[in-house]
Structure 1
Amino acid sequence: MDPIDEVHLKEPGLVVIDVAAADDSTVLAFQQMLAAQWATATSDRTTRDAGQPGVRLRCYLDMRQEPGT
């Protein structure tokens, strides 16, 4: 994954989460669970690291806002 840039965390309440899971459905379900609780920039695509098992996903949360705002 790319490094977390300072702009991603420029204010309190902003969170960057890197998730690793065995498969796409697991990591996307986890992302949906986060999105149900906080304003989340969701992704519909996972990444795979060559030679490594599983998938990865990065999502961005804004804990200052309610979901859907």
Structure 2
Amino acid sequence: MTLPQCENFGGRRSVVPGMRAINNAHVAEPGLAVVEIAAADDQTAFAIQELLATRCAVAAADRTTREPGEPGARLRCYLDLRQEAAPA
């Protein structure tokens, strides 16, 4: 399935306005995933990302994003379940 190059795929209500499209390369093979984290604050979003990083390889995000006028913070990271987490 090819995703269109637009922010709100298919105009579905469940898609967050302003969300970037997921590139086909991000999920081109089994074991690759894109995780969009929505949290009350930056600390919580980064804590979830760290939790994921203990289980698998993560291309970590270094900042969160916020929607103007909306509560909370969002963070997007990329997972590779085929690789084990790097040792601490």
Instruction: State the TM-score, normalized to the length of structure 1.
Output: 0.95
Aligned residues: 69
Q: Distance in 1 between matches of 2:61 and 2:25?
A: 19
Question: 1:53 Cα shift?
Answer: 0.6
Task: Give the residue type in structure 2 aligned to 1:49.
Answer: E
Q: Distance in 2 between matches of 1:19 and 1:9?
A: 17
Of structures 1 and 2, the larger Rg is shown by 2
Task: Give the residue type in structure 2 aligned to 1:36.
Answer: T
2:76 is matched with 58
1:32 corresponds, among 50, 59, 62, to: 50
1:21 is matched with 39
Unaligned 5+ residue runs, structure 2? 1-18
Percent identical: 55
* Structure showing greater relative contact order (alpha-carbon pairs closer than 8 Å, 6 or more residues apart): 1
Give the CA RMSD over aligned residues: 1.1
1:46 corresponds, among 49, 56, 64, to: 64
Q: Which runs of at least 4 in structure 1 moved beyond 2 Å after TM superposition?
A: none
Unaligned 5+ residue runs, structure 1? none
Greater fraction helix: 1
